[in-house]
Structure 1
């Protein structure tokens, strides 16, 4: 007997038939459609989804081509994918994008590239510079997102971390000071240590930095750079207001400081605001960093940066010294994801629903919480240590991270909500809620 399975096509990207094919793969991966399950008859599913019979046929054919299902003559279409293997604890400690149809989209991209041997052959050589077509692809993508180049220079990197290191090395000399958010991305510490730079953290407020403390630290240390994550601050889960961005920009210009703006962290369309680079509109006082790691998948180490033209020669030399060149093949995969629309995942509604459930769970325990982008931040009452709760959660198969890892308070916890599997939200939030309630009710350390 066939299942009455009916997916939500709007959760997936592409045309209608691609959305349905991706939904089939997603349901199989999550275990919603188990091996041996018969898919709904095509006409019945077409009526349920309000699409044409041809759309269903094309989707089923694509799913067969991908090896997910098999057609049995005279009997229908059945799931043939192997059972999912136990992958261990649920990792909510690492900030990563929600898993939907990335593997399928990447597979399609690589298949298309594989059908063009001339194009592939051109990507196998050493390249002293990036191709104009690749640069144009990324610049158009940024412009469509609301980020113009303003005459600045575009540089590709192996992830934004390499861009951060190169920008710091280009702007600073050993012993120079760099200002940053007090709760900060740990990768900055590693880059600063390697470059022998001094760091000074600026306290955070609800809409950005403590501007009085920022001004005082500028006067005290005469820094060469300020490192910021204004759109989606991790782990504080705040976004900078426009007035904050403008005032920080004015301070930087007045004191000849370069702002290194990290816009890697994912945020929904309603959370996103114009970056400081765009507000500056001069390509002189800001370095803008981004990548597709949090937009698509962390394993695709494709980053890019916009920077003042005067910094280009030094940045290029630094990247050249580190890796000779950024892989043209990797750049092309990233550009093809952009061209095909595969990078534009329809995940906002899903992430927003996880944020809302996280905040509701915290409210039911009378705990302070914030959520933005892929992350949720939880503050325990005074006297409770995050590491004790994190150990208790780990014993229940859930990994989380202490805010102390970012320079934050010892009673704060960060959860990467994007990794919660679809269909398992109730069970995951129930485990988190029960563990937190047990620790809070006991009032003692849990190891």
Structure 2
């Protein structure tokens, strides 16, 4: 590697009178250069020893600064190749946080988390199923299953998928302990440090975290109401040759958009042509509003480019942590191996419970009643948003799911609104949590999954009031 670029760094100056450690000063100066794009993505940083010598500082100082930059996602270090800038220009950014738990303060109304109202689940039915399984299997119900998953469940899943146009066999199915583990297993099987991964923007932050943990350099692609921009995607494919694309084509999280059929077909064509895999996260599979579910990418996949991920526990009992992958045959060995290394096997009892629900028709009945309840909640939320939010507010009517993606009036800060709402007893999710880089402060994700209808109405009324109050404050300040 040519190290003549060292001249970019010799002008760095340190204040030795400061109490701040030198490594921290170096970190901040390098970070400033990265964020201002003076150091562009892929730019090679000088070797530790060479930079230390040129700046007349200790090798450990440079090493500590580099480690801090890498820990926060701004650079990527490859053994034998050196350190490279990864932040900016659509690539990695600092790690994001994500939290699935409900608020610990019982005085708060939760319109932030996508957690279903516990009242939609029949504890009596679950108790009966568990008792019958124990009567049938005895203590075997609590033993390990094979790492790939309880075979009767995999058979039941295959039969269920046939009704949605997905043909698979039990050997293609890998049971995992929740969709987050499914994302992590796929990432670890496919992504190596320095590999490029494409993601929608905005996207699910848990997926971004899993990709970053594998050393991925993330490229974000903008979305519109029909899906991702195919023009932008093809430019990225030509330039970066990514290994994986993480997508939620049905009821996308957080926007609620559903890809058009044309976009789906174009995406599969690009996957075949450029030989990348698509991790299709069907996290809301089954929770649609129409008479039939929109097609999955997997149902259209004729070249084994799709790794299909379906969550079960998110629409069942969330604490059960249950999901499954449909694996392309060539990836199956590595996916199965990584799952086994991760936690040996998913709970055998949980798998037996869901298998019983599938075989006895209880799952179909549960989904039907759940769709009806969520359709009513969605219609109520849309009416409340129309009635209480300012006319300059916009939102997408999703094809299903448990939330609305709200675009706020110009000048309204989602972070400020969320903080004010919390003081009034309501939790909303600022949209900035879902962006790979350059977070937008003009969006909110509003969940209608667990609060009562009167509380939901009050939440939208409060949001409208806060929007108008903030707008009046800004107008007064500008006079």
After TM superposition, is the score higher than 0.5?
A: yes
Aligned residue for 1:88, secondary structure, equals coil
Contact 1:228 1:259 in 2 (8 A): yes
| Distance in structure 1 (CA, Å) of the matches to 2:357 and 2:146 | 23
Alignment partner for residue 146 of structure 2, among 128, 133, 144? 128
Q: Deviations over 1:211-259 (max 9, x none)?
A: 1110000111111111100001111111000110000000010011111
Q: Which residue of 1 aligns with 2:422?
A: 394
Aligned residue for 1:100, secondary structure, equals helix
Shift of 1:427: 3.8
For these two proteins, the number of residue pairs brought into alignment is 358
Q: Which residue of 2 aligns with 1:369?
A: 395
Aligned residue for 1:253, secondary structure, equals helix
Quick check: 154-163 or 164-173, which moved more?
164-173
Q: TM-score, normalised by structure 1?
A: 0.74
Contact 1:178 1:223 in 2 (8 A): yes
Q: Which residue of 1 aligns with 2:377?
A: 354
Q: Which residue of 2 aligns with 1:45?
A: none
Q: Which residue of 2 aligns with 1:204?
A: 223
Closer/same/farther in 2, CA of residues 240 and 202 from structure 1, 3 Å limit: same
* 2:451 aligned with 1:420: yes
Closer/same/farther in 2, CA of residues 219 and 358 from structure 1, 3 Å limit: same
Alignment partner for residue 383 of structure 1, among 411, 416, 419? 411
Contact 2:411 2:471 in 1 (8 A): no
Shift of 1:416: 1.1
Map 1:292-441 → 2, pairs under 5 A = 292-340=312-360, 341-342=362-363, 343-364=366-387, 365-366=390-391, 367-372=393-398, 373-407=401-435, 409-422=440-453, 424-441=455-472
Contact 1:393 1:399 in 2 (8 A): yes
Aligned residue for 2:315, secondary structure, equals coil
Structure 2 unaligned segments of length 5 or more: list them: 1-104
Aligned residue for 1:384, secondary structure, equals coil
Shift of 1:396: 1.8
Contact 1:362 1:368 in 2 (8 A): no
| Distance in structure 2 (CA, Å) of the matches to 1:389 and 1:235 | 18
Quick check: 272-281 or 217-226, which moved more?
272-281
- Taking only aligned residues, the RMSD between alpha carbons, in angstroms, comes to 2.4
Q: Deviations over 1:60-97 (max 9, x none)?
A: xxxxxxxxxxxxxxxxxxxxxxxxxx933121111123
Q: Deviations over 1:271-300 (max 9, x none)?
A: 831111101144x11100011133223222
Contact 1:403 1:409 in 2 (8 A): yes
Shift of 1:424: 4.3
Closer/same/farther in 2, CA of residues 437 and 362 from structure 1, 3 Å limit: farther
* 2:286 aligned with 1:258: no
Alignment partner for residue 165 of structure 1, among 176, 180, 184? 184
| Distance in structure 2 (CA, Å) of the matches to 1:423 and 1:125 | 45
| Distance in structure 2 (CA, Å) of the matches to 1:97 and 1:146 | 27
Structure 1 unaligned segments of length 5 or more: list them: 1-85
Closer/same/farther in 2, CA of residues 147 and 128 from structure 1, 3 Å limit: same
Aligned residue for 2:334, secondary structure, equals helix
* 2:296 aligned with 1:275: yes
Contact 2:155 2:169 in 1 (8 A): no
Contact 1:177 1:198 in 2 (8 A): yes
Q: Deviations over 1:191-215 (max 9, x none)?
A: 1122111110001011001111100
Quick check: 188-197 or 154-163, which moved more?
188-197
Q: Which residue of 2 aligns with 1:113?
A: 133
| Distance in structure 2 (CA, Å) of the matches to 1:425 and 1:172 | 41
Quick check: 259-268 or 416-425, which moved more?
416-425
Shift of 1:269: 4.1
| Distance in structure 1 (CA, Å) of the matches to 2:126 and 2:472 | 46
Aligned residue for 1:381, secondary structure, equals coil
Q: Deviations over 1:340-377 (max 9, x none)?
A: 41442413333233323333333342111124211101
Aligned residue for 1:383, secondary structure, equals coil
Closer/same/farther in 2, CA of residues 150 and 106 from structure 1, 3 Å limit: closer
Aligned residue for 2:197, secondary structure, equals strand
Q: TM-score, normalised by structure 2?
A: 0.70
Contact 2:191 2:211 in 1 (8 A): no
Contact 1:290 1:303 in 2 (8 A): yes
Contact 1:96 1:297 in 2 (8 A): no
